[in-house]
Amino acid sequence: MLELLSKFPDEKSAWGALWLSALGFEITALFFQYSMGLAPCIMCIYQRTAMLGILFAGLIPFLYNHFASRLVAFMLWGLSSIWGLLIAIEHVDIQMDPNPFFASCEIVPNFPSFLPLHDWIPAFFAATGDCGNIDWQFLYFSMPQWMIILFGIYSLLFIAMLVPRLLVQRRF
């Protein structure tokens, strides 16, 4: 089993599946925003950015599957999935805080000054919603609770692909 999992990152289709899944979630986020009228808050924008990291992590080795591209992709995938999970957990904490005066989030995204994505592409990165509002639920879970599940799955898949790779093949 470890041998099979260790060879999986050599396949372009594996990276394509990662890219397609993240692309699907980004399209879904835009559907929620523009078709259903759900305004994304700052935490949603950060989670959207983490999902973009996963999207690019899948795209890089899908286009050029080589040692260096896999190394970059694994780092980007791990960083993005774990960061997205932490942001989603923080978002749920904000929504579940019994005292809404102390549970708040920023209004303007805290992107680096050399990369003001919210100014460059406001239709995708501008935050217009409130982090404390629960505007949508499915099966009694709010959007950030679903994002905990999604980023948790991406994080587990990252570990499931990386560890056998390092143990069996001792390389990326």
DSSP assignments along 94-125, one per residue: HHH-S-TTT----SS----TT--HHHH-HHHH
Catalytic residue numbers, as ranges: 41, 44, 48, 105, 131
Identify the segments of the chain with pLDDT beneath 50.
Answer: none
Task: Catalogue all structural domains in the chain, each as residue range(s) with its CATH number.
Answer: 2-169 (1.20.1550.10)
pLDDT tens across 106-129, in order? 777 777 777 777 778 788 887 787
Question: Model's pTM, two decimal places?
Answer: 0.84
